[in-house]
């Protein structure tokens, strides 16, 4: 694998993890939202990754080699978990009979754990890019 392909693969990982961090931030920001445009409480969003084909320069020239893979976001899915029912009879969205409010199915602990995992994956891709850049610089120094 050439070093530029390694940069492309790591950068695709950075993009995918940035999307995941944005979705996690949206989940946390809406963890108390009881009214949405669609009606009802906010529903937790989750990111799904899939392999991404990154064509190499050689592949574009002769189309004989396989392309290298990176990662991309294939879809953002809505959680099907049940809403949390919280007893708040004074809340405007509370059920008039029972006094319970349907709250979003966002769990702060789960979101923070996902955020730490995504952050570590992002940092790993940054480290891979830095190491690749160092290898490129060392290869260029050999030619001096």
Give 83-99 pLDDT, tens digit per residue. Answer: 999 999 999 989 999 99
**Residue 73 backbone phi and psi in degrees, to 5:** -80, 120
Q: How confident is the model at residue 20 (pLDDT cuts 50, 70, 90)?
A: very high
- Inter-residue long-range contacts of 58-61, CB under 8 Å, 24+ positions, other chains counted: none
pLDDT of residue 16 exceeding 90: yes
Three-state SS at 12: helix
pLDDT tens-digit series, residues 45-68: 999 998 876 666 555 555 545 555
Q: Residue 56: its pLDDT value, please?
A: 60
Q: What average pLDDT is seen over the chain?
A: 87
Stated pTM of the model:
0.80
> Could you give the CA distance from residue 27 to residue 107 in angstroms, rounded to a whole number?
9
Average pLDDT over residues 100-123: 94
Q: How confident is the model at residue 24 (pLDDT cuts 50, 70, 90)?
A: very high
Q: Residue 31: its pLDDT value, please?
A: 92
Average pLDDT over residues 105-133: 95
């Amino acid at each position: 694998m050439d070093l530029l392909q390694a940069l492309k693969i790591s950068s695709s990982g950075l993009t995918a993890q940035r999307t995941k961090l944005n979705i996690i931030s949206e989940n946390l920001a809406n963890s108390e939202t009881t009214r949405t445009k669609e009606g009802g409480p906010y529903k937790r969003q989750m990111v799904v990754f899939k392999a991404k084909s990154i064509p190499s320069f050689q592949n574009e020239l002769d189309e004989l080699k396989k392309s290298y893979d990176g990662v991309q976001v294939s879809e953002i899915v809505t959680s099907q978990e049940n809403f949390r029912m919280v007893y708040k009879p004074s809340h405007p969205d509370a059920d008039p009979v029972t006094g319970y409010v349907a709250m979003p199915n966002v769990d702060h602990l789960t979101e923070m754990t996902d955020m730490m995992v995504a952050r570590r994956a992002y940092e790993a891709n940054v480290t891979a890019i830095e190491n690749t850049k160092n290898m490129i610089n060392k290869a260029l120094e050999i030619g001096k």
